[in-house]
A and B are shown apart, each in its own frame.
Chain A
Amino acid sequence: MPDTAAPPPRPRLTRSRDDRLVAGVASGIAAHLGASPTLIRVGFVLLAIFNGLGVLLYAVFWAVLPLADAPSARREPLKLLPFVVGGIGLIVAASLLNTQEPGSMIAGWLVALIAIGAGIIWHQSQRASTPAASTPATSWLSVLASSRDRRVYFARFIGGAALIGAGIIGLLVVYSPGRVEMHWSDLWKALIFALVAVAGVVLVAAPLLFRTLTALRSEREGRIREQERAELAAMVHDQVLHTLALIQRNAADADTVQRLARGQERSLRNWLYQPTGSPNEHFAAALEQAAAEIEDTYGLAVETVVVGDRPVDERVAALVAAAREAMVNAARHSGVRTISLYAEAEPGQLSVFVRDRGVGFDIETVEDMRHGVRGSIIGRMSRHGGEAEIRSAPGEGTEVRLSLPVTAAKEEASHE
């Protein structure tokens, strides 16, 4: 017999999720008692002979025991087969031996049926009343999923109700006074009476139930809205108000004001339109972060356009570093307030273009420039198998073109 009062060191009595044939009751008890699940299962099947006691016990355990936290695995119906066959065989044998009192046999089974039906409904309503930490619907997909859930919910509810109804009617039939003369017509009458009574109750309770449900839903929506508002308020307070205060204090310094405004704009944009991902993992995000740093450090605007994306590896990081260096050069030497950064991730190649419309230079004559450019841009690119080309002429601005061949295999979908 399974014993529920157990010493503490044993695992908590739960329903197993990963090793289950029906609902995980047997293997949960087995884990708790340190016994073999098969033994417990055989026990349940054997008990089923005694007026369905095994099934009744199983149903009760199932209704009462909480689910384990383990991830759930698929059931294997084939494993269940021997137990079902064995159970039916035993029951048939028992009923053959016990012919004079068929009613008492059936009663236990009917109670088990009711318990199972009630358990189904119970579990369903438990699940419905404790929704997982409700996040606001993120996409239309979640709506779809929840409506599917609802269908499953109703199907199970009706199934459970049918089991209970069948059980109750069965009990009525078995224990009705003078059951010897019980006729099908009587049964139908009883069934119709029961249905009429249930319909009456539903009619009375439905508006109330509906109102409660509506109120619950609107309360939940209100809570989500409230949460969003709180988040927005926190963001405005932490960032925007501080930035505005700083701008007022630095009103005389146009450069600082611009820098503050641009930084704030970027952060609001990220917040509104969602960043593209972690700079350590995504090419696009890494470039955007580099551009943001240049904007902050040198107080100019970097117009960034990135097409496609791919994961960052050592070579991609080198490309980003070279692009950053090109932006630093543009910021320091071009004399303009805006530079353009364009990057494209194609299946076989990454390209980055950094362009300014500034003073430009003669690449052969500017010694200092040649040094910085050679070491940190051209050298870096060639070390990683890429190329760097610099086009500039005095008065015509500068463009640094970087390209890095990559293997197409690592190409990720450029969305998401």
Chain B
Amino acid sequence: MSDRLKVFLVDDHGMFRAGVRAELGAHVDVVGEAATVAQAISLVGATEPDVVLLDVHMPDGGGRAVLDAIRKTHPQVRFLALSVSDAAEDVIGLIRAGARGYVTKTISPDDLVDAIRRVADGDAVFSPRLAGFVLDAFAARPDAAVADPELDQLTNREREVLRLLARGYAYKEIAKELFISIKTVETHVSNVLRKLQMSNRYELSRWAADRRLL
């Protein structure tokens, strides 16, 4: 990639920011970092990065507050949520607020660079655990009321792709396994992301409501 991506780090742990900066330095331009919500909102506006790496848990509203503020003024900025939390409601809440992906902080540097590129390209990034949550939330339950089949249900193909993601397959491996192109895999994952953001399925609202995220 000749044109280096501009990446901005938002995390209240200085040590973690330094570590990520060192890991990413060779592959992308880290144009700035912020330790607080207010700092992030003003600096992201000034630096106009391609991708913001966003910590879920921070004082003063967390990643959610940053997302809400910046998406109003800079809709072109893309967000990748980064967290130590694997709690469903945190992750789903941030995705529904507009983040294009979620990875855990234990992710390897190569995978992180990969995820950043994917998010910058407008694709979605699901960690295995997020894929598991989505499968769980969209499980075909007989009692689940489906208001909008287009948004509230996953297609079989999307389900297959999510299962492979949850099993630890990379996009390339999924493509090979399902005999489809990587581009098609990306399309499926993006569709799932869209459903996750737009659907009003009961399970999703409940997760969000449990933590007052919506």
**Residues on the B chain within 8 Å of A340, using CB:** 128, 167-168
With both beta carbons as reference points, the residue of chain A lying nearest to B170 in the complex is identified as A357
Using Cβ atoms and an 8 Å threshold, which residues of chain B touch A405? none
Contact with B along A347-382 (1 / 0, CB 8 A): 000000101010000000000000000000000000
Q: Does B166 count as interface, using CB distance less than 8 angstroms?
A: yes
The CA of A327 and the CA of B85, in the complex, are separated in Å by 24
Distance (whole angstroms) from the CB of B92 to the closest CB of chain A? 14
Q: Are B128 and A303 in contact (CB under 8 A)?
A: yes
When A353-B167, A355-B167 are in contact, do A414 and B139 touch as well, CB less than 8 Å?
Answer: yes
B130 to chain A: closest residue by CB: A305
Q: Are B136 and A342 in contact (CB under 8 A)?
A: no
Task: Chain A residues near B167: list those with CB within 8 A.
Answer: 305, 340, 342, 353, 355, 399
**Cβ–Cβ contact B106 & A306, under 8 A:** no
Residues facing A in B84-111 (CB within 8 A) are 85-87, 106
Number of interface residues of A (CB under 8 A): 19
Contact indicator A308/B128 (Cβ below 8 Å): no
Q: Are A342 and B166 also in contact (CB < 8 A) when A305-B129, A308-B139 are?
A: yes
- In the complex, A344→B140 CA distance in Å? 13
A305 to B106, Cβ gap below 8 A?
no
With a CB–CB cut-off of 8 A, which chain A residues contact B106?
301
User: CB-CB contacts of A108-133 with B at 8 A, as 1s and 0s?
Assistant: 00000000000000000000000000
* A307 on interface, CB distance cutoff 8 Å: yes
* Interface status of B163 (Cβ within 8 A of chain A): yes
Contact of A342 among B87, B128, B139, B203 (CB under 8 A): B128
A184 at the B interface (CB under 8 A): no
Chain B residues touching A, range? 10 to 19
Q: A273-B87, A344-B163 known; A355 and B168 CB under 8 Å?
A: yes
Residues facing A in B41-94 (CB within 8 A) are 85-87
Interface string of A323-342 (1 = CB under 8 A from B): 00000000000000001101
Roughly how many angstroms separate A353 CA and B131 CA in the complex, as a whole number?
A: 15
* Complex contact A305–B139 (CB within 8 A): no
Q: In the bound complex, do residue B132 and residue A342 qualify as a contact, i.e. CB atoms below 8 Å apart?
A: yes
* Cβ A306 vs Cβ B132 within 8 A: yes
Please report the C-alpha to C-alpha distance between residue A40 and residue B167 in the assembled complex, in whole angstroms.
71
Point out residues on B near A: beta carbons under 8 Å.
85-87, 106, 128-129, 131-132, 135-136, 139, 163, 166-169, 203
Q: List 26 A-B contacts (CB under 8 A).
A: A273-B85, A273-B87, A301-B106, A303-B128, A303-B129, A305-B128, A305-B129, A305-B132, A305-B166, A307-B135, A307-B139, A307-B166, A308-B136, A339-B168, A340-B167, A340-B168, A342-B132, A342-B166, A342-B167, A342-B168, A344-B135, A344-B163, A353-B167, A355-B168, A357-B168, A415-B203
Known: A303-B129, A344-B135, A355-B169. 8 other contacts (CB 8 A): A273-B85, A273-B87, A301-B106, A305-B129, A307-B132, A308-B139, A342-B163, A415-B203
A positions within 8 Å CB-CB of B? 269, 272-273, 301, 303, 305-308, 339-340, 342, 344, 353, 355, 357, 399, 414-415
Top 8 closest pairs, chain A to chain B, by CB: A340-B168, A305-B132, A342-B167, A305-B166, A307-B135, A353-B167, A342-B166, A307-B136
